[in-house]
Amino acid sequence: MPRRILEGNVISTKTNKTVTVLVERRYMHPVYKKYIKSTQKFTAHDESNSCQDGERVQIIECRPISKTKRWAVLRDGKESIPPTNNEKRKLTAKNAPAKGKAEPKPAAAAGKAEEKKPKAKKPAAEKKSKAKKDA
């Protein structure tokens, strides 16, 4: 069976040769068809203690190293990992051209809007209720 490779953010480097990685996963709900975001924490082995908090890393499944460690840091740093979709969107938004003023609508479209008139409302039906008797 092939080893799994996951990508996530380092959230803790407090222990020696161990990092805690937060992995985010998105999946579609089978009934409601809405995308749900779920996160999991994995403890991974970092032999060189080179990872820092907030860094994006890839971890690979390996043999059990301790009671909770079953993952090892494969690559660390942003240079070796391509940017995620969110990071791509931020980069393209910065490089996007400035939004200009909206162009005015053509005269033909403006004329059609003026031709439409609201329909006349029908008068409300009179209520046929009995008056309350005073006792």
pLDDT at 114: 62
The tens digit of pLDDT for each residue in 3-37 reads 899 999 999 999 999 999 999 999 999 999 999 99
Q: pLDDT tens for residues 52-81?
A: 999 999 999 999 999 999 999 987 554 444
What burial letters (b/e) apply to 44-70, b meaning 16+ CB within 10 Å?
A: bbbeeeebeeebbbbbebeeeeeeebb
List, in order of start, the domains of the chain with CATH numbers.
Answer: 5-93 (2.40.50.140)
Is residue 3 within 8 Å of residue 60, measured between CB atoms? yes
Structure confidence by residue, pLDDT tens digits, 87-119: 666 666 666 666 665 565 565 555 555 667 777
